[in-house]
Structures are given as C-alpha cells and as structure tokens.
Amino acid sequence: DQQVKQNSPSLSVQEGRISILNCDYTNSMFDYFLWYKKYPAEGPTFLISISSIKDKNEDGRFTVFLNKSAKHLSLHIVPSQPGDSAVYFCAASDSNGGSQGNLIFGKGTKLSVKP
Amino acid sequence: EPEVTQTPSHQVTQMGQEVILRCVPISNHLYFYWYRQILGQKVEFLVSFYNNEISEKSEIFDDQFSVERPDGSNFTLKIRSTKLEDSAMYFCASKGLAGGFYNEQFFGPGTRLTVL
C-alpha cells in the first residue's frame, strides 16, 4: 500500500535548467509534506517542507508546490546544479490522532544534473 | 552545526544474534525516531519515541525490536534475534519542539546492518 508515490525513478537535467520532481499521495489526512535529498552512504537531508494550509513554499532555488485537490506535490529546482545530483525523497505526515509526525516516504527519484 | 550521529556505521552479525544500534540525537531535541531502508526500497518508519516512551510503531516493529533512551544523550535500537530480512540501513532521526508538529526531522548517517 503506497501512500506516497514517486512514479519517476530517475530524472536527467542539463545544468542551469529546471528540475521538476513529482510526488502523489493517497491519504487525505496527510497535512505536512517534506522533501529530503540523499547522497549515497549518507542519511536523508531536509530540503524544504509545506503544510497543507499553503500551496507554495519557496527557499532559494527550491520551491515546493502543493495541489491538495489532486493530492500532488512537486519540487522545482531552478537553476539546477551538478551538486544537486542525488536521490530526492518526498515524505508526508499526519498531525491528527496525536501523531508525533512519523514520516511516510516515497521510493525516491534519482536526479542527475549534467554539466 | 548540530547533527545526529550513529554508531557503528556498519554492523555484521550472524542470524539469531542480538544487535544494538546507537544514536546520539541533537541535544535539545525531544522527539526521536528509527527508520530503515532495505536495499533498493523506500525508507520505512519503525518507531517514534517521546517523553521516555514509544509514541507510535509500525507493523515492522514487532516484539523482536525495542528502543531505549538509557541516558540523556543516547537513543538505542535493539534487535533481539536478528533475521536475514533485518539486513538494511537503519536511520535515526530527531526533531525539536520549536514549530510544533510542523517541524523537520534531522537524520543521522545510518548504520548498515548485514545479517549473515
């Protein structure tokens, strides 16, 4: 039962162009969404998040868009840099029912940014 | 910058043996988590810990697993009798109180557990 889906296992982008990573979710109770970046042999590193009361959050080159009606979010990286090459995980959590915020992750999308 | 640390980085054990994976969360954080990632699969939630007790646990976290915060700094995951399918990368994470629920978790570098 995949509650968080990242349907593209990989994405290749030219340096300087936009990278768009997509994520879909099925659980309408999710109200907090995060993107993590992961390099090999390291733990996930937090990038950006958005709560369900917003539809956009921006931090430097990273912007996350949330479309609640479509249960879809996306991460835009502009401009893409070779150092952005990593696996990107979408994660979601549900604040209801006394949850302490355990994260449900997608399978990840491997981004390759070519010079 | 404060970070979550984990030891060992790699643990090899025989099936049926007990293992303890150790984590030192960020010092002023109050919420602690364990996740695992089997090779090629997604990161999966195991357990959350707050106020010296388990808050939530997943189906994976059966009675072979336990967690403990033995002192003010360490957070451990014990697997009582390891199975081949326990081979995975285990990540510890912690979260502060600032911002309430809507606050990111910080992950450690992971411990690679190999069960032979």
pLDDT along chain A (115 residues), means of 10: 90 97 95 94 93 95 97 98 96 78 93 96
- With H, G, I as helix, E, B as strand and everything else as coil, classify residue B86: helix
Q: What would the pLDDT profile of B2-52 be if each residue is shown by its tens digit?
A: 899 999 999 999 999 999 999 999 988 989 999 999 998 899 999 999 988
Phi/psi for A84 (5° steps) reads -80, -10
A38, A45 in Cβ contact below 8 A?
yes
- Please tell me the predicted confidence (pLDDT) of residue B23: 97
Query: Is residue B103 scored above 80 in pLDDT?
Result: no
- With H, G, I as helix, E, B as strand and everything else as coil, classify residue A98: helix
- Shortest CA gap B27–chain A (Å): 18
Query: Is residue B59 scored above 80 in pLDDT?
Result: yes
Greatest distance between any 2 Cα atoms in chain A: 47
CB proximity B109 to A under 8 Å: yes
Give contacts of B 56-95 with A, CB under 8 A. 56, 58, 91, 93, 95
- Please tell me the predicted confidence (pLDDT) of residue A40: 86
